[in-house]
Chains A and B, each alone.
Chain A
Amino acid sequence: MNIRNLTIKKFHEGLINKEFSAFEITKAFFDYIKEKDQEIDAYLYLMEDLALSQANKIDVEIASQSFKISNYLFGVPLAIKDNILIEGEPTTAGSKILENYRAAYDATVIKKLKEVGAIFLGKTNLDEFAMGSSTENSAFKITKNPHDLERVPGGSSGGSAAAVAAGMAVAALGSDTGGSIRQPASFCGVVGLKPTYGAVSRYGLIAMASSLDQIGPITKTVEDARILFEAIKGKDELDATSVNFQFPISNFQWEDIRKLKIGLPKEYFYNTDLYRLNTDSGGLNVDLRRNSGLDKEVEKAMEETIKLLKSLKIEFKEISLPHTKYALSCYYIIMPAEASANLARYDGIRYARIPRGSQTKHGSFADQRKSALEEIYFRQRGEGFGPEVKRRIILGTFVLSAGYYDAYYTKAQKVRRLIKNDFDKAFEEVDVILTPVSPTPAFKIGEKIDDPLSMYLSDIFTIPVNLAGLPGISIPINSKLKTQNPKLPIGFQLIGKPFHEADILGIGEYYEKISE
C-alpha cells in the first residue's frame, strides 16, 4: 500500500473493502512523516496519541458496521493548519507569542470533521498569523517545497500544501485571506479551494483580517476538495457572517458544465502594467520591476490549459476587470487595518505568556515612564511578534489613525467596492473566470523575504477574489510541455460567482479527467 498517493476517495474504498485498517494506515502515516518531514518541515507538531486512539474507534465501528458507507471522510488522516483550534492541542498560529497556548475549544470546522470521523495527524506550519506568501515568516521553522527543497512551498498555508504534496496527509485544511490556500497549492502542485466568504464558519480560526479570511481544503484532486468542502461548509450560529446557502455542489452533469462560459480578464493576460510596480513610487529597485512580470513558463502553461478547455467546445469570452490593478494597494490597506485590531488581543495577559527573553536591550522607549502593565504589553508584543506582523500592525494602526483614516482606509473600502462591481459586471456575461494563480512558480527560499513589496506581488491574482468575497480554486496544470527546467508545478485559478463553488469544482473535475 503506497500511502503517499492516497486520495480521500481511494482511502475510503480501501478502508471499507478492508484492504487496511484505520489504525495500521494511521500508524504508517506517522512512520512516513517522521522520516520525510525531516527534510520538508511541514508539521509543527504531531498528534499521534489522539490520532491512533481515533483510528482504533474507527476500526471498531467498521467491525460492527455502524458507519455510513456514504461518509467519505470516515477515518481519513488530515493535516490542519496551525491557526485552526483543536481543543486541548497547541495552537501557535506560527507565532512565538502563542508558543505556550493550548486551544480551549474546537473550531467549528474541526467539530464537523470530528463528527464524520476524520483523523487529525497534526498541525502544520504557516507564516506567523497567516501573514506571508512563503511560510518563511513562521517563528519556528522553514518549510521546503517537496518538488525542490531549495524553494518555498508558498504561503501562508505552506505546511498544509507541502504535507499533502509530499503525501504526509491525505488532505489538509488551510486558510486564505489573500491567496494563502491557492498560492501554496499552485507552488506545491496540489488543489486548493478558497470558498465564498461566508460559506465556511470562521469560528475557531485565529483571525487575521475578518472580512477576508476563509477556511478551505487543500487536496490531491478536485473531487477531494469537493468532499472536504461539503463536510465543512454551512451556516454556524457562532459566526454571524456565515451563510446558509442551498446551492448544490455535487451531481453536476457534463452537459451542464459545458454550457458554462469562461471569462478571460484581458488585464491579467495582456496588460503588463499589472505586474509592474509604479515607477514613480521611488525607492523600488529595478530588478523588482523587471522580475515581477508573468513568468514565461506560467504564460505557456496557461495557454495550454485554455487550449485544452477550448477543445471541449467550452465557450470563452474576453472580459475586463479595470480596477483589478488597484487590488494590491487596496488589500494592503484593508488587511493590515483589520489585522491590527484583531491582534490587539495578544497582550501577554489573557493567553499564555512567553518568557521575557532578552530584556537587557531596551527599545526606543527607554526614556518613557511605563506602568508595570504597559511593560508587559510592550515586551510581550515586542518579543512575541516577528517583523512582518509588526510591519502590518503598525501599517494598520497608521491607516486607521486620525487624519489618515479617510485618505487610506475609507478610500481603500471604496476601491474595494469598485473591484467587486467589476466582478459583478463580468459575471453578467460569463459564469466562471480563469486566471493564473501566481505570476511565477515557487521562488527560492530567501529570495523575497527582505523585500515585502515583491513578496506581496506573488498574490496579485488571488487578492481580488478575497476582496470581492468570491470562491476561487487553484488546480495544478498537467503540462505536456517538456520545456520546464526545473519542472516546478504551476496552477491555474477558476473564480466563480458567490456560492457557485459547483461551477469551479465542476470544470475542475472535468479538467482533471481530460488532462490525465
Chain B
Amino acid sequence: MAVPINKKTLKYLAELSRIELKKESEEKLLKDLQKILAYFEELESVDTENIEPMTGGTIEKNIFREDALTQINADNTQINADNISENQRKNLRKSAITEQFPEEENGFLKVPAVFE
C-alpha cells in the first residue's frame, strides 16, 4: 500500500478535525504521519478472513436503560433521575456546568451566529 497521505490530504484532515495548523509544524507532522502509516503496513500480512471485528472491552454486550427524562429540581441544586438509584444521585449543580461556559445568556450557552 502506497503511503496515502500527502500535503493535500493533511490539509483536508486538519479541516475535518477543526484544527488550525501552523505552517512551520506541517512538514514534521506530515513526516511523522507517513512513518506511522508505513509502520501499519505490517497488518496487511495478517489473515483476518472471517474474523469478527472486536469493538470494545471485556464484555461485548449492549447495556440498556430506560430512555427517561432527567429532571432538574426547581432550586437547581440536584438532578433527580428516575433511572438513577438513590445513591447514584449526583449533587450536580446546573450552575457548575453553566459557569464553565465562556459566553452565556440567561443560563444558556451562547455561540456566534452559525448563518451569517
Contact = CB atoms under 8 A, between A and B. Distances in A.
- The residue in B9, B17, B31, B85 that gathers the most chain A C-beta atoms within 10 A of its C-beta is B17
Nearest to B96: A104
Interface residues of B, number: 66
- The residue in A198, A236, A281, A351 that gathers the most chain B C-beta atoms within 10 A of its C-beta is A281
Contacts of A340: 17
Contact of B43 (A102, A197, A352, A411): A411
A460 B23 CA distance: 33
Contact of A395 (B18, B33, B90, B96): B33
Contacts of A372: 112-113, 116
Contact of A414 (B16, B41, B53, B96): B53
Interface string B45-69: 0101001111111110001010000
A353 to B, nearest CB: 4
Contact of B22 (A240, A361, A418, A499): A361
Interface stretch (A18-26, A397-405, A425-433): A397-405
Contacts of B102: 348-349, 352-353
Interface string A404-440: 1001101111111110100000000000000000000
A397 B20 contact: no
Contact of A243 (B29, B58, B90): B58
Contact of A329 (B9, B40, B99, B101): B40
Contact of B112 (A329, A350, A376): A376
B97 A391 contact: no
B31 to A, nearest CB: 7
Interface in B76-116: 83-85, 88, 90-93, 96-97, 99-102, 109, 111-114, 116
B72 interface: no
Chain B contact residues, majority secondary structure? loop
A344 B32 CA distance: 22
Given A104-B100, A105-B92, A414-B52, A365 B20 contact: yes
A471 to B, nearest CB: 10
Given A349-B102, A364-B11, A395-B33, A418 B51 contact: yes
A406 to B, nearest CB: 10
B42 to A, nearest CB: 5
B19 A385 contact: yes
Contacts of B109: 349-350
Interface in A373-400: 373-374, 376-379, 381-383, 385, 387, 390-391, 393-395, 397-398
B80 to A, nearest CB: 14
Interface of A: 87-88, 101-102, 104-106, 196-198, 211-212, 236-238, 240-241, 243, 277-278, 280-284, 323, 325-326, 328-330, 332-333, 340, 344, 347-353, 361, 363-365, 371-374, 376-379, 381-383, 385, 387, 390-391, 393-395, 397-398, 401, 404, 407-408, 410-418, 420, 452-453, 469-470, 498-499
Interface of B: 1, 4-5, 9-11, 13-23, 25-26, 29, 31-43, 46, 48, 51-59, 63, 65, 83-85, 88, 90-93, 96-97, 99-102, 109, 111-114, 116
